[in-house]
Amino acid sequence: MDLHYAYLDYNLKDLNKVTKRVLLYIALGYIKGILAGFLKRISAYIKNKYSLFKLSRGLCIGTHRNLF
């Protein structure tokens, strides 16, 4: 009987490890997605800001298209 309980306990520990790992991967993926979206938004904002700045300086639109 003791062996049976030890086996069950071992399986539960393993399951606990697996669920923790899965939750960790889900959380990391979620955080990565949020960061990627945030960085995309920031880079788009900077590009818009910079291109408007360049256009207001009167630079050629062709060079603007080549740079970005």
Placement of tokens 């360049």 in the chain? 54
Return the domain boundaries, the chain.
2-67
Q: Please give the pLDDT value at position 6.
A: 59
- Quick one: tokens of 53? 């700045």
Q: Express each pLDDT in 26-53 by its tens digit.
A: 888 888 888 888 888 888 887 777 666 6
11: amino acid identity, one letter: N
- The whole-number pLDDT of residue 18 equals 79
**C-alpha atoms less than 13 angstroms from C-alpha of 65 in its C-beta half-sphere:** 3
φ, ψ for residue 57 (rounded to 5)? Answer: -75, -10
